[in-house]
Structure 1
Amino acid sequence: MGSFKVTIDDLGLKEIKLNDRHFTWTNEQTNPTMTRIDRLLCTPDWELLFPSCFLHSLPSLMSDHTPLLLHGALDHFNNNFFRFENFWTKMEGFHEVVQTEWGKPLNTMLPIKRLHIKMARLAKGLKKWWKEKIGNTRLQLTITKEVLLQLEMAQELRPLSDQENELRKRLKARSTGLAVIEKSRMRQRSRLTYIRSGDANTKKFHMKANARRRKNYIHCLQKEGLIALPIYQ
């Protein structure tokens, strides 16, 4: 710990102010113990590059520690296009919606136009089905986090009531299910990004292929102290 403190002094690090909390850890007992053990440090040069940064806390969903989120200049944009989610196929009612929308009659005989209309109807039907079935999971997760955060902030000032503790447990359980959905969505989007990056840069895939080949290569076999080397022809 002494070396760690010396390193902080040598680098001239300073702490970024946490705006909405006094404590970042609790043991979640009836009479909880709360401390401030999570901090964010930066160099003076970094602070000059990001003078308007804002550090705030997130609710501790599955941990005793409070996550810290550092905000800078963010660009906001809305995507209204259709995006298919892989986990839809495992949900109740998905196949019925696909069968209903795909089987609706058409007034054209052109194959390309028929396919376009069917795909547009299916996308519209799936968006409506998802909105009625689950809704905006990202918004639900955001609201869940906000309520949890308010309960944790209230806990710093007073003991929570039994109803508030029960609500907190239910929200944490709910947040786990919503987080699984969001994780599946992010995994799918990361794969699409990986494919697009690979199409634009074949060198990346060459590096991946070479790394996998090196990983799977057997240099030698060893048994009972004897080493068998490969024979090249």
Structure 2
Amino acid sequence: MSSDCSNHEPLLLQLCTQPWAKPRFRFESFWVCLDGFEEVVKQAWDCHLPGADACRVLDHKLRKTAKELKSWSMRNIGSVRSQLFMARELIAQFDAAQEHHAAQAIKAHQLGTSIPGAHDRPTALQAKILGRGGRNTKFFHLQACHRNWKNHIPSILHESAWFSADEAKSELIYSYYNGILGTPFYRQHSIELGDLLPQLDLSSMDACFSEQEVWDTIKEMPPDRAPGPDGFHGLFYKVAWPIIKQDVVNALNALW
């Protein structure tokens, strides 16, 4: 596929080639920068459902807003998917041309390096490493045994005595951890958490959500995170908050 703005080329693996029955709505972030966005949201949101509960009203208004935004985008912008497809097709052709030129450069490099004697003279660093590390010398063995010596325990101090024999060290380590696993633990002190924790007034915990609490939560939402089941993400709620805030708060209070 096209690399778009990345330096990697994605591979598309399709396990099912059947098209989706109905494409899902997805809010586009660039809509908020276009003229007429707020007017479309206001007109779509200005509807009434007599006798419906607050959650059903919010769901109906979100669906209607999504439908109106799609129609408005098609009238003013056109098919974003078609434009994106054409842009990706052009990028894919540019990638193919660049890959062709890169292949030509690699062939030229291979021709240049195929000259006899081009690789016969190693660099000074390569000569030093090959000269010292390739032979059966002390330098070679130090490099090979470095990790083994770092993991080695030469001796253990136990009750003012040093033990360096392997069997003695093994027995001391086994006895130490076996004693930890087999010894029961008895708590000698206790803590009165009631005296340490502050006494808080929790009478407001069961109060209804205020508009400021809901707005503070919406401000912390990521603006361009993956959308929810309704297709809207945090940017829509932030930009359209003056229009939709009352219905959102009513739905939350209905859940409460």
Question: Given the two structures, how large is their TM-score scaled by the length of structure 2?
Answer: 0.30
State which structure, 1 or 2, has the greater radius of gyration over its C-alpha atoms.
Answer: 2
Structure with greater proportional helix content: 2
With structure 1 as the length reference, what TM-score do the two structures score? 0.32
- Larger relative strand fraction: 1
